[in-house]
Amino acid sequence: MPKQEQSIAINNTDKDSVLSYCYSSFKQLNWQMLYANDNTLMAETSKGWDSRSQQMIVTIEGNMLTVCSEMTGEELFDITNRNKKNIAAFIAAYELVKNNLPANAKEQNIAAINFLRDETARVAAKEAEDAAELDKAMNLSSSNLHATNTIIGINVVVFIMMVIDGAGIFIPNGLVHIKWGSDFGPLTLSGQWWRLFTSMFIHFGIIHLALNMYCLFRIGIYLEPMLGKPRFITAYLCTGIAAGIASLWWHTNPVNSAGASGAIFGMYGLFLALLTTNLIPGQARNNLLQSIALFIFINLVYGVKGGVDNAGHVGGLLSGVIVGYVYTASLKKEKEEQPSVSWIIPLLILVTGVFAVYFLQQFRQPAPEKIPVASTANPADFSGYSKFNSSSQDFFKLEERAMDVFNDTKITDAQRLTDLRTISLTEWDGAEDLAREMQTYNVSDQMKKKAADMVLYAQLRKQEIAIITEMDDNKTDTIKLHALRNQINAIIKDLKPVP
């Protein structure tokens, strides 16, 4: 955080007097005292409507008094020079107090400082005790994050390999994801059970990957040391499989699902369960419980939007809560230095396996249903997929600009006719040319048909403009325009299906 320091000479003034002057200076500036030790006082500046408080520390070093002001928020720069202003305000107050402080006030200040020192020592001792208790419960200081980092590394390596194979960095190619093992119902339910496992390491674009890996690292910091690597890895994989099953069960229409988020929600659900027990000390438990609950709530609400497999998130979360309560018994025994319950991990693996086999058998689909999907899932044949998606977005941007003329309520009818002949017609010409180019891309026959429909759509819109700009309000032109718009509406349904 940004900070600034300045030193002033104290001219052999005794330490107690200097600290007394500093104490009175803080009080005059209405800054809240925080702690004190032998040579240091710390205070917090007042909060403003437009700024956070800053931390002020004064330290006696030899014959000098060092004054430090430091930001305490997330600021990267001290744009308004708050630190410099704080130091200037303190020095002005210090000089004033130094020359005018009554003797009895000095004694009162020294007594207050001594009390603050005692309170600081008590708080520090309590914090050290709480930290030791928390460390004993969660094993934070004596464990590494090898399992968490390995899982992150596997996800990153898989993503890089998929990008090389044409998956797309920002705009994903779903065909590549199917090839690499995403959880696609018609394939998973017709014998390719391994997709429940592989889908946990596949991501739809670099943003999807980055967000998931960040969340995994944040939860791994707490859970891997507390659970130990075997329990951590087992919980991650089992809740990830449960999330995949939940996704398959929920979606009656097949979705191409992948990502670590189901397993990550499982780990957050596991932690949530542990935080409802007394395994973790009170204050730390309450703070973490609020933070974890808020994270889960926000992400589930966000998951309601389209394009997010919230069923997998909920499945992972609920299975994680169950695993958390199952783990509680063995963690309590270890905390009490009793032999751990060694059969829990094999039991969890067995139950997850049996449940997965039962589900896959109950909802099994006949093998022929997967053949059309598998035959189209060869991304090597469709290297233009990402480019096609990008061009599609450009096409509909041209459409939007062309249709703006119809929707502009601020222009006259005469101006609208002029804009249709110039602005709209030009945009539709560009859209038609783009759609013709898209027909040449190396994509599936279905996508080439979509490009052909785009060409037809642009042509129909140009015909619509021709009729509108030339019609004389006769019945023939009106019937022709009505029929043309029926064609346009029909093709719009194919180009932009309702979610």
Q: Which amino acid is at 158?
A: V
| 208 is a catalytic site residue | no
Phi, psi of 69, rounded to the nearest 5 degrees: -120, 130
The catalytic residue among 313, 319, 330, 386 is 313
Q: Using an 8 Å Cβ cutoff, are 234 and 281 in contact? A: no
The Cα-based distances of 151 to 194, 202, 267 in angstroms read: 18, 12, 13
Rounded to whole angstroms, the Cα distance separating 420 from 440 reads 29
Who contacts 107 (Cβ-Cβ below 8 Å, separation ≥6)? none
Who contacts 21 (Cβ-Cβ below 8 Å, separation ≥6)? 94, 97, 98, 101
Which residues face 41 on adjacent strands?
36, 58
Rounded to whole angstroms, the Cα distance separating 173 from 165 reads 10
Q: Which amino acid is at 141?
A: S
Tell me how far the alpha carbon of residue 391 is from its chain's centroid: 28
| 482 is a catalytic site residue | no
Q: Using an 8 Å Cβ cutoff, are 240 and 316 in contact? A: yes
Rounded to whole angstroms, the Cα distance separating 300 from 131 reads 32
The catalytic residue among 25, 261, 319, 392 is 261
Q: Using an 8 Å Cβ cutoff, are 118 and 36 in contact? A: no
Rounded to whole angstroms, the Cα distance separating 304 from 319 reads 20
Which residues face 51 on adjacent strands?
48
Residues classed as catalytic: 261, 313
